Amino acid sequence: MTIRKVSKKLSVLNAEYSKLRKEFLSKNTTCHARISGCRSYATEIHHKRGRGTYLLDINTWLPVCRICHNWIENNPTDAKELGFSESRL
């Protein structure tokens, strides 16, 4: 018997997320962080409150480019001060 890498429940959530992500990025094409070195074109979604409970909550999403996303992840205190991240508690 093979153990699933992803549960059935998570598989359904991932499929819904993929659909919402594609639609979201097609409507939000500009990076909203605009950090130094920004590529301007949003290719990713930063989950301001984390992915857990908020995975499908587009109100907690921020369209960003890869450079800005890396900066946000590597500078959590500054990102919170600038409004790019929120408390996950």
pLDDT at residue number 80? 96
In a domain, 1, yes or no: no
pLDDT at residue number 87? 85
CA angle 82, 51, 23 (to 5 degrees): 90
Number of domains in the chain: 1
pLDDT at residue number 1? 79
In a domain, 85, yes or no: yes
Q: Which domain covers residue 34, as residue numbers? A: 30-89
Rg (CA), the chain: 14
pLDDT at residue number 89? 74
Q: Tens place of pLDDT for every residue, the chain, 89 residues?
A: 788 888 999 999 999 999 999 999 999 999 999 999 999 999 999 999 999 999 999 999 999 999 999 999 999 999 999 999 998 77
In a domain, 15, yes or no: no
3-state SS string for 38-77: CCCECCEEEECCCCCCCCCCHHHEEEECHHHHHHHHHCHH
Q: Is the pTM of this model over 0.95?
A: no
